[in-house]
Amino acid sequence: MVSSIVDRYQIESCQRTFSKGYSHFIRQTPLWKLPGKALGVDCAQVWLKLEHLQTGGSFKARGMLNRLLSNPIPVSGVIVASGGNAGIATAAAARELGVPCEVFVPEVSSPAKRARLAALGARVVVTGAAYFDALQACLARQQESGALLTHAYDQSEVLIGAGTLALEIEQQGGVPDAVLVSVGGGGLIGGVASWFGQRSRVVALEPERAPTLHSARAAGQPIDVAVSGIAADSLGAQRIGTLAWAATQAHVTDALLLSDESIRAAQLWLWKELKLAVEPAAALPLAALHSGRYVPQGDENVCLILCGANLDPASLN
């Protein structure tokens, strides 16, 4: 993996590619601006970036399509290991381009995500207890098949694609004072931080039971960590990506941990109060505000990225 940080020119170029030929696939998702008090938060405004409405139900579509468009695709197609969302995005992009797709998912992946993968025409292989195990099986299979490997978070094309989300936020509303970002392997925060740099306070949020970035910072380098908990199917990477590590070292000061209880409470609040059905990984930004882990200034405009919606609707009851 390359360890350099992607740049703003690459992100702008990617967005132009999307807008010229793939605007039907990569949606411009809404930016919903609400007064802070509407969400029980003492700040000027809370911006909700409704990226859970993206093709495939998550921000991952941006990076996966960019990866496929940036490389020749062999007859064996594309292959990816994923907790679910990156696989869904890769399968959707592969179907858009008319190429085969094979997805390796761990046993922790949700049945709803597996069903979505199958509906998109992907060959689904369930193997291993966690994402790392699925990734090892995927890498072995890729050596056999020669398929184009799409990594869930640690390829430059993936971060560049994710960066278009941050560019879109700026085009829709300007530069927020702070942007709160869920972190698993780090593809999203790597792209967001690469776009905003120091112009916005980019805040990394992780579950206490999946602290890849937090643990890396304590160790001074990326390390393997045990992952579990409510958001493990989306934020279950065992190690922060090398690209995300570089980007966050350069641009991200705050890396905060959140309890499963606060994440679940925020997920249910978004559904009950705003009728936004999102998966646990997308609820971390609101959980950070409601739990007091992130306390904004009274005049701040804070952007929350609602990154995914691949969940079983029954789980919101």
* Domain ranges for the chain: 8-57+159-316, 60-149
Span 238-242, average pLDDT: 93
Q: Residue 1: pLDDT band by 50, 70, 90 thresholds? A: very low
What pLDDT shows up at residue 84? 81
What pLDDT shows up at residue 234? 81
pLDDT in tens, 166-210: 999 999 999 999 999 999 999 999 999 999 999 999 999 999 999
Q: In CATH terms, are 8-57+159-316 and 60-149 the same topology? A: yes
What pLDDT shows up at residue 317? 83
Q: What is the model's pTM?
A: 0.94
Fold annotation for 8-57+159-316: Rossmann fold (3.40.50)
Q: What amino acid occupies position 18? A: F
- CA–CA distance, 245 with 242 (Å, rounded to integer): 5
The CATH label, of 3.20.20.60, 3.40.50.300, 3.40.50.1100, 3.30.360.10, for the domain at 60-149 is 3.40.50.1100
110 versus 288: which is more confidently predicted?
A: 288
The chain-wide mean pLDDT, for the chain, equals 94
Would you call 28 exposed, middle or buried from its count of C-beta atoms within 10 A (0-12, 13-18, 19+)?
middle
- CA–CA distance, 312 with 250 (Å, rounded to integer): 37
The 3-state secondary structure of the chain reads CCCCCCCHHHHHHHHHHHHHHCCCCCCCCCEEEEEHHHHCCCCCEEEEECHHHCHHHECHHHHHHHHHHCCCCCCCCEEEECCCHHHHHHHHHHHHHCCCEEEEECCCCCHHHHHHHHHCCCEEEECCCCHHHHHHHHHHHHHHHCCEECCCCCCHHHHHHHHHHHHHHHHHHCCCCEEEEECCCCHHHHHHHHHHCCCCEEEEEEECCCCHHHHHHHHCCCCCCCCCCCCCCCCCCCCCCHHHHHHHHHHCCEEEEECHHHHHHHHHHHHHHHCCCCCHHHHHHHHHHHCCCCCCCCCCEEEEECCECCCCHHHHC
